[in-house]
Amino acid sequence: MVAKGMNRAGREFDTMRRSNFALRLQPSLLEELRKAAESEGVALNQLINVAVAEKVSALRTEEYFRERGRRADRTETLRILERAGKGNPPIEGDELPPEWRKRPGRKVANRRDLVTTKGEKKKAGGK
C-alpha cells in the first residue's frame, strides 16, 4: 500500500506503509525459508513478501480466467478455431514431437480430422 508523506523540505513523497503480522510457521518450514532466503541473497522478510505476492497473484489470475471462461461464447470460439490455419500450409518446425505421435492401438481423444506430422489431413481411425 502506498501512502503520502512529507519530507523535511515540506515536499510530498510516496512511502510504503508497513504492517507487522505475527506469522506462526512450522520449524521445518521456517528453516527451509531461511535456507532459500540465504541462497537467493535476500532477507527472510523479503522472501516471504515475494512468496505471498506470487501466491495472491496466482489466485487472482485463476479467478480472472474462470470469470473470462464463464463469459466465453463456445460457438464463436469453435468457429474461430475452425478457421485457424486455413490457407496456411504447415511449415518447417510445425511438426509434433515424436513422442506426441499417435501410437498403434491408442484411442484418439478428438474424432475429427487429424493432422499427421507431415501436415496432410487424414480421418480419425483411417490409414
Q: What is the pLDDT of residues 39-73, one digit of tens each?
A: 999 999 999 999 999 999 999 999 999 999 999 99
Residues contacting residue 115 through CB under 8 Å, at least 6 positions apart? 90, 121
**In whole angstroms, what is the distance from residue 29 CA to residue 25 CA?**
6
Highest mean pLDDT among 13-22, 38-47, 78-87: 38-47
In the numeric block, which cell numbers belong to residue 67? 470469470
Using only C-alpha atoms, what is the Rg of the chain? Answer: 27
Could you give the percent of the chain with pLDDT greater than 90?
45
Segment among 47-51, 73-77, 85-89, 102-106 with least mean pLDDT:
102-106
pLDDT at position 95:
83
Report if pTM > 0.75.
no
pLDDT at position 73:
93
**In whole angstroms, what is the distance from residue 44 CA to residue 34 CA?**
6
